[in-house]
Amino acid sequence: MRADFGQQMIELVEGDITAQRVDAIVNAANSRLAGGGGVDGAIHRHGGPRIMQETDRLYPDGCPTGSAVVTGAGNLAAKHVIHAVGPFWSGGRRGEAELLASAYRRCLELARENDCASIAFPSLSTGAYRYPIDQAARVALGTVFDHLADAPAVQLVRFVLFSAGPFAAFAAALEELH
Ligand code: AR6
């Protein structure tokens, strides 16, 4: 499923984030950049040890929640990995929506700063961090939609959803937007 916004496109696919051939792949990281399960585990497994060596060297203090940092992509078919730290869901009254939006925003800024024409996102915070998928989908797509024009060289924003449920949630949110 895709939606065109002038020269730019938002696309939804069901699949594995590590298999994407794009300029930047976004990781669902934690603030220590320590690796883990889910997307993070898959990215380091497929990308090899160079990615963690780089995060250790460049970002020894980690990355705050709601922000993101960039490294090379090791063995992945991308130029960069953008490690984004979404919030852990604790009911919705601890600024989760703003933190999630800010993580997506920072990723788009880093994509622009690193001359990326294409970027693939997973659905941040909706696995181990338990953010409800319908709400997360609205925040993700709304934020990207609002900030797409700030990154005019980014032609393709692809959301890679791991299964049918998250895909349907994102599809409904994209319909709402378009
Ligand atoms: N490709 C695309 N999506 C995936 C993949 C994949 N290979 N694997 C899982 N998902 P999560 P979070 C989906 O847990 O909630 C880690 O331990 C998954 O179904 O990866 O932000 C980190 O180190 C879910 O919808 O990220 C952190 O400690 C979404 O991706 C913590 O988990 C995000 O799930 C971050 O938790």
Name the DSSP letter for residue 31. T
Contacts of 53 (CB under 8 A, 6+ apart): none
Query: Which contiguous run of DSSP H or E holds residue 158?
Result: strand 156-161
Buried b (16+ CB within 10 A) or exposed e, 13-50: bbeebbebebbbbbbbbbbebebbebbbebbbebbeee
- Are the C-beta atoms of 96 and 90 separated by less than 8 Å? yes
pLDDT value of residue 167: 98
Query: Quick check: CB of 55 below 6 Å from ligand 1?
Result: no
Which pTM value belongs to this model?
0.98
pLDDT value of residue 101: 98
Domain boundary assignment for the chain: 2-177
Query: Quick check: CB of 62 below 6 Å from ligand 1?
Result: no
- Residues 130-143 have pLDDT tens digits of 999 999 999 999 99
Known catalytic residue at 40: yes
Positive/negative CA dihedral, 105, 107, 113, 118 = negative
Q: Among the options 4, 40, 146, 150, which is catalytic?
A: 40
pLDDT value of residue 178: 81
Of all protein residues, whose CA lies closest to atom 12 belonging to ligand 1? 125
pLDDT value of residue 166: 98
Query: Quick check: CB of 92 below 6 Å from ligand 1?
Result: no
**Side chain identity at 157, as an amino acid letter?**
V
- Selection from 151, 168, 176 nearest residue 9 by Cα: 151
Ranges of the chain whose pLDDT falls below 50: none
CATH of 2-177, one of 3.10.180.10, 3.40.220.10, 3.30.530.20, 3.30.70.60: 3.40.220.10
pLDDT value of residue 13: 98
Cα(6) to centroid(ligand 1), Å: 31
